Structure 1
């Protein structure tokens, strides 16, 4: 992008961007839906509409008739068609790097809420990752919904930024501080599995806004100043409100959410008691963004080598 809208002091550039953003923003969750013939083989028009919505709202929902076996090839091919190349496999993902989110007693008992039927608080994916592993996009593909519940609410991080900035520009300045939020180290049986991660809530990469956030209140440390605390309270108020910018989605089988790592939560759900009929959602996380030309995964790796500039 030629203009750095989010840099401090770029008041006019930010104002122009804000005006354009809000003028074309979707008004209803239904405005995010793109009807597709086959998510494994998106047409040029379907790709264009998904990319348009991701440029406008950082998210889109694809919907179409059931086609073929509901396997992970749908997610893999869909991501590739949208230019997503840097799949990020977290430790709980399946061997192919894509996660099968369903009720799994052993993972749930270990405290991994996505693998339970309990509610998930507001967050962005990978908020605990190191900076070179920030999740910039993800795909959720619903194979089977729960019998009841399992609704997601979503909010575009750029809208969150605007609402915070409108309330007080110092809020976004505080949340952009390099020590705004710390996720303490994660350890099990005395072994550190993940080091502590300190960083900003809002950061900018290649001109695009990135957000790391969680509404959890335990195992999180906020910068100890009143402006940061006020900003967090204000943001939580937005997320808990009936803001017209917060959309509610309940994905049906064959539908999916593609997005540039938007804020989201999930309500608790109940599974169908029939064997093999529980809620199942495939999740793929990426280090690159939709509709943004990003460096190749190989280039990213080269840039991390010692001595590279």
Structure 2
């Protein structure tokens, strides 16, 4: 018989007792599983890919599984001539199909995050030389346009600065 470590002596599949909320019991079981997967994969987020336009089954599986376990993945292209079409094809292969045509998007629907001189975009931190702090995207959108995934591709190595990434579900659960 399987035992839950939160409710000693009671089968993991049984319904919680009256003292505890069913929602907290379900959440704790979900979070324990999530945290175990996260801890296993967080030190191995980088997936090397040969050609973003044609992922191998192993590359695609590695990308998708890391997103499932950590809500993020870092890919490294061995090919150096990656253009916007390549990025769109990569996105399609991993299930990112509907682009959000934001104010900074170009004709392809992609957005280049870089310093822009136009007054319209300069007021937004990603298009300025100002430091980008704690950031989420899409929280202001109605449910029909909610941002459910992002693909960030570095065209060239950055100069200076640091990046910190964390799975929002881990933050919420702690």
TM bin, normalised by shorter chain, reads: 0.7 to 0.9
Aligned to 1:85: 97
> What do residues 183-240 of structure 1 show as CA deviations (whole Å, max 9, x unaligned)?
xxxxxxxxxxxxxxxxxxxxxxxxxxxxxxxxxxxxxxxxxxxxxxxxxxxxxxxxxx
5 Å matches for 1:83-232? Answer: 83-107=95-119, 110-149=122-161, 151-163=162-174
In structure 2, the partner of 1:41 is 54
The structure that is strand-richer by fraction is 1
Choose between structure 1 and 2: higher helix proportion. Answer: 2
**More relative contact order, 1 or 2 (CA 8 Å, 6+ apart):** 1
Distance in 1 between the 2:158 and 2:95 partners? 30
Larger C-alpha radius of gyration, 1 or 2? 2
* Helix, strand or coil at the partner of 1:87: coil
Distance in 1 separating the partners of 2:119 and 2:45: 32
Q: Which residue of 1 aligns with 2:37?
A: 24
Kindly provide the CA deviation profile for residues 234-263 of structure 1, in whole angstroms up to 9, marking residues without a partner as x: xxxxxxxxxxxxxxxxxxxxxxxxxxxxxx
The answer as to whether partners of 1:107 and 1:115 remain within 8 angstroms in 2 is no
Determine if the alignment matches structure 1 residue 50 to structure 2 residue 45.
no
Provide the rounded CA distance (Å) in 2 between the counterparts of 1:38 and 1:154. 25
The answer to whether the 8 A contact 1:108-1:115 is kept is: no
TM-score (norm 2): 0.79
Residue in 2 aligned with 1:60? Answer: 73
Secondary structure of the corresponding residue to residue 46 of structure 1: helix
TM-score by length of 1: 0.46
Shift in Å, 1:29: 5.7
How far did residue 81 of structure 1 move? 0.3
Which segments of 5 or more consecutive residues in structure 2 lack a partner in the other structure?
1-20
Tell me the SS of whatever aligns to 1:21: helix
* SS of 2:63 mapped into structure 1: helix
Runs of 4+ in 1 over 3 A off after TM superposition: 26-30, 107-110
Q: Provide the aligned C-alpha RMSD in A.
A: 2.1
